């Protein structure tokens, strides 16, 4: 299993987009039994209506707890093994009685998980109803991550995550939002196309269904949240729309799919060229959309978008998986030659020699998926009842790490002694799991006030993680094995558990920034370190309103926009405008900034504002009708080729979005009407092969960019 993890791209602005897109690639899901969709007819229009979630199967085995448990006398706050909560009407303190509250656990919430099937496992542990004052309480394991799923008549079902003991959680229920829309291709509505709505980044699916007559779809009763509307057709390119669902609001989206390009190819055994029957081919590491190789090893995959990055993935039992960027080559037949993978085995035991229960293990390796793009090969290990495990399909070109975790045990990570040759089997012997340690603390601002809801990350591993290596070896670590992220509670508290003895770094970043505040901690097996504090500087602020020329206000399209505040020799800071246009940059160092937009709404552009001082509270930004620049990208021989183009305004150093050319290198890019700056292009495979044209003005056409290595860039205007 693989994952496109992040993009450290030459243009900082593109890196910001990659950060936002992170949750897209994770593609989190929950069991389908959580959401039910039914076709109904309202006013003659076909729709898909989402009913309130039915309990997951594990709820039938959940233990009921009393509606109200009286807190011990004099106790004003919950202890570390108590989770308190209140259910109220959102935006008020009005309690909601008799709301059904489920205490759930998803083990994948506690680590950076790339195993989608494992991520679907959600257990319901306890069930209660809120008391007359809206309160409820659960006894929980210390520092364990929980979800609270709440439903009450007349309100949208709501799920919150990152809930641990020692916290009091206020859950606001509200009227549900609705989303309706249409899916088309070249103006024609598409019927029976899957549509899915999921909360951004937290693995909660709110709705799923299929389009009806005319491509129409409609979902109701949705939890207000930042969501993605995903349309994944087997015959068309995949599309996403980001929305900020508002209380009781009706949202509409129109999604245009492209027919895309069809890839044809063959999957064979590398040494014999024999076909590999039933090998799975996908355009995503998630393998949500696959085609299978036939008896001759041949496959046909339609609906691919030939953009700047088209990674194709292939897997088959017992073979090392493959991936390749085929951008600009989809019209050619592709051949994937697979080799037998390596195998690791061993046995997990407890410190007393027993067999640990409920263990999860995987092997993984980091690698460069494309220039500047980091990937991870993640293979789940099969763990038997006697503690023995086996992982198959290790690539011979990668150096793997083993990760193992289990309830009550510290997560352990080990670098495998060496790379495994094709077909090689390596027995790792007995691996001892020890009692979990942990670290707990608070995040405060520089005035001493707690910061609630801020992300806190932890990175590190057990002290003996490299014990199997020779002293001169240093394989690249697997960041997913050694890091995790949670959010602080209402008192700024954070709690990490399932840690093995070793050194760790706990860090906090302000939203939209890269600079972090951190603390180093030493963790011991079976012990919880307490009292750690991280102080985050409040920083300076720039805020204002983004609107359309003529006075129009931003609607749902605001959810897909990104503003940037940049300053020379500093990292850029990002901010999303809200519906209505308000935006706010926080945590800035004092000084003057350039405020720009990464990409405006279709047909609209923003001229950057230079020299905006921190402390500005009423910055007015105006979107204007776009102008265009256009031209063609060619190779060293003068032949047009598919590539990626960016525009950069004079005085703006934060870059821009990338725009794909067509197969012949032609491009047409929106720019502000007063644009004056440069136009650049990069080869799809080698970012050092590029071209730049300076002194370009809005409305200029027939630009010619000839790609050359950096030492010999060529660009001219015709």
Do residues 305 and 260 touch, judged by C-beta distance below 8 A? yes
Residue 59 pLDDT: 60
CA-to-CA distance for 223 and 176, rounded, in angstroms? 6
- CATH annotation of 627-717: 2.60.40.1120
The strand pair at 250-257 and 540-548 is best described as unpaired
CA-to-CA distance for 281 and 289, rounded, in angstroms? 8
- Please, which residues have CB within 8 angstroms of residue 472's CB and are 6 or more apart in sequence? none
The single-letter DSSP state of residue 96 is -
The strand pair at 177-185 and 188-189 is best described as antiparallel
Do residues 349 and 433 touch, judged by C-beta distance below 8 A? yes
CA-to-CA distance for 710 and 371, rounded, in angstroms? 15
> Cβ atoms within 10 A of the Cβ of 552, count?
11
> Cβ atoms within 10 A of the Cβ of 531, count?
8
CA-to-CA distance for 1 and 285, rounded, in angstroms? 6
CA-to-CA distance for 244 and 225, rounded, in angstroms? 6
Longest dimension (CA), the chain: 83
The half-sphere exposure of 661 on its side-chain side, counting CA atoms within 13 A, is: 28
Q: Which segments within 491-579 are labelled E, that is strand? A: 493-499, 502-509, 516-523, 528-536, 540-548, 563-566, 573-575
Return phi, psi of residue 14, to 5°: -70, -35
Fold of 261-338: Immunoglobulin-like (2.60.40)
In DSSP notation, 614-683 reads TT---EEEEEEE-EEEEEEEE-TTS-B---EEEEEETT--S----EE--TTSEEEEEE-TT-EEEEEEE-
> Cβ atoms within 10 A of the Cβ of 497, count?
20
| Superfamily of 540-625 according to CATH | Immunoglobulins (2.60.40.10)
- Please, which residues have CB within 8 angstroms of residue 325's CB and are 6 or more apart in sequence? 309, 310, 311, 312, 369, 370, 684, 685
Residue 60 pLDDT: 57
pLDDT digits over 348-407, tens only? Answer: 999 999 999 999 999 999 998 876 678 899 999 999 999 999 999 999 999 999 999 998
CA-to-CA distance for 687 and 309, rounded, in angstroms? 12
Query: Of 527, 378, 528, nearest to 439 (Cα)?
Result: 528
| Superfamily of 2-52+176-257 according to CATH | Immunoglobulins (2.60.40.10)
Query: Of 184, 194, 290, 205, nearest to 233 (Cα)?
Result: 194
Span 437-536 CATH architecture: Sandwich (2.60)
| 631, two tokens | 């031209």
Do residues 288 and 232 touch, judged by C-beta distance below 8 A? yes
The single-letter DSSP state of residue 272 is T
Residue 5 pLDDT: 38
Do residues 665 and 640 touch, judged by C-beta distance below 8 A? yes
> Cβ atoms within 10 A of the Cβ of 54, count?
11
Query: Of 634, 690, 636, 627, nearest to 658 (Cα)?
Result: 690
H helix or E strand, kind and range, residue 710: none
CA-to-CA distance for 403 and 124, rounded, in angstroms? 26
Domain ranges of the chain: 2-52+176-257, 62-69+79-173, 261-338, 437-536, 540-625, 627-717
Task: Check for a shared fold between 62-69+79-173 and 261-338.
Answer: yes
| Superfamily of 62-69+79-173 according to CATH | Carboxypeptidase-like, regulatory domain (2.60.40.1120)
| Alpha helix (H) residue ranges in 11-62 | 12-26
In DSSP notation, 501-512 reads SEEEEEEEE-TT
The strand pair at 619-625 and 540-548 is best described as parallel
Residues of the chain where predicted confidence (pLDDT) is lower than 70: 1-61, 67-75, 371-372, 472, 511-514, 653-655, 711-718
Enumerate long-range contacts of 681-684, CB under 8 Å, 24 or more apart: 681/633, 681/643, 681/644, 681/645, 681/646, 681/705, 681/707, 682/10, 682/643, 682/644, 682/646, 682/658, 682/707, 683/643, 683/707, 684/308, 684/309, 684/325, 684/327, 684/328, 684/642, 684/643, 684/644
């Amino acid at each position: 299993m693989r994952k496109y993890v992040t993009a450290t791209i030459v243009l900082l602005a593109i890196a910001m987009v990659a950060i936002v897109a992170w949750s897209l690639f994770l593609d989190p899901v929950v069991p389908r039994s959580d959401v039910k969709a039914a076709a109904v007819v309202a006013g003659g229009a076909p729709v898909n209506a989402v009913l309130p979630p039915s309990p997951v199967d594990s709820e039938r085995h959940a233990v009921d707890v009393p509606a109200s448990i009286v807190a011990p006398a004099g106790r004003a706050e919950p202890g570390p093994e108590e989770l308190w909560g209140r259910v109220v009407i959102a935006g008020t303190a009005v309690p909601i009685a008799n709301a059904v509250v489920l205490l759930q656990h998803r083990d994948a919430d506690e680590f950076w998980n790339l195993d989608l099937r494992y991520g679907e496992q959600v257990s319901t542990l306890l069930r209660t109803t809120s008391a007359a004052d809206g309160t409820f309480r659960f006894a929980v394991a210390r520092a364990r991550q929980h979800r609270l799923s709440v439903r009450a008549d007349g309100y949208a079902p709501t799920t919150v995550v990152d809930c641990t003991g020692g916290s009091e959680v206020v859950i606001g229920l509200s009227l549900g939002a609705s989303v309706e829309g249409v899916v088309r291709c070249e103006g024609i509505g598409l019927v029976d196309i899957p549509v899915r709505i999921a909360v951004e980044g937290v693995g909660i699916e709110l709705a799923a269904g299929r389009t009806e007559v005319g491509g129409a779809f409609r979902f109701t009763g949705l939890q207000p949240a930042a969501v993605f509307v995903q349309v994944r057709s087997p015959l068309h390119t995949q599309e996403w729309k980001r929305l900020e669902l508002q209380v009781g609001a009706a949202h509409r989206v129109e999604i245009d799919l492209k027919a895309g390009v069809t890839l044809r190819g063959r999957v064979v055994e590398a040494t014999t060229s024999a076909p590999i029957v039933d090998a799975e081919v996908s355009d995503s590491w998630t393998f949500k959309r696959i085609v299978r190789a036939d008896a001759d090893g041949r496959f046909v995959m339609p609906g691919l978008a030939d953009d700047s990055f088209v990674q194709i993935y292939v897997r088959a039992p017992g073979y090392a998986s493959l991936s390749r960027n085929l951008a600009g080559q989809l019209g050619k037949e592709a051949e994937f030659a697979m080799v037998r993978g390596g195998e690791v085995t061993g046995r997990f035991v407890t410190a007393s020699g027993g067999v640990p229960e409920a263990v999860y293990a995987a092997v993984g390796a980091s690698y460069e998926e494309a220039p500047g793009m980091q990937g991870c090969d993640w293979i789940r290990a099969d763990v038997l009842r006697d503690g023995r495990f086996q992982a198959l399909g290790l690539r011979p070109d990668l150096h793997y790490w083993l990760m193992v975790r289990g309830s009550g045990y510290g997560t352990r990570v080990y670098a495998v002694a060496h790379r495994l040759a094709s077909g090689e089997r390596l027995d790792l012997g007995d691996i001892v799991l020890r009692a979990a340690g942990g670290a707990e603390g608070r995040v405060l601002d520089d005035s001493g006030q707690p910061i609630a809801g801020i992300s806190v990350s932890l990175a590190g591993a057990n002290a003996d993680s490299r014990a199997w290596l020779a002293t001169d070896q240093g394989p690249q670590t697997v960041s997913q094995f050694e890091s995790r992220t949670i959010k602080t509670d209402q008192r700024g508290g954070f709690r990490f558990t399932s840690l093995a003895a070793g050194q760790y770094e706990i860090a906090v970043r302000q939203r939209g920034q890269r600079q972090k505040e951190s603390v180093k901690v030493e963790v011991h097996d079976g012990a919880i370190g307490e009292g750690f504090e991280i102080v985050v500087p409040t920083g300076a602020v720039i805020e204002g309103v983004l609107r359309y020329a003529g006075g129009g206000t931003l609607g749902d399209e605001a959810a897909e926009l990104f503003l940037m505040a940049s300053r020379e020799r500093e990292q850029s800071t990002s901010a999303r405008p809200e519906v209505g246009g308000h935006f706010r940059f926080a945590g800035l160092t004092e000084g003057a900034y350039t405020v720009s937009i990464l990409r405006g709404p279709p047909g609209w552009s923003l001229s950057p504002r230079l020299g905006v001082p921190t402390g500005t509270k009423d910055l007015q930004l105006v979107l204007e009708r776009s102008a265009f620049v256009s031209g063609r990208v060619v190779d060293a021989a003068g032949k047009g080729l598919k590539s990626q183009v960016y525009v950069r305004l004079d005085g703006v150093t934060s870059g821009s979005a990338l725009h794909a050319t067509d197969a012949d290198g032609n491009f047409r890019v929106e720019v502000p009407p007063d644009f004056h700056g440069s136009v650049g292009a990069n080869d799809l495979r080698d970012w050092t092969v590029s071209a730049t044209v300076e002194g370009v003005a809005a409305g200029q056409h027939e630009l010619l960019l000839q790609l050359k290595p950096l030492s010999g860039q060529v660009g001219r205007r015709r």
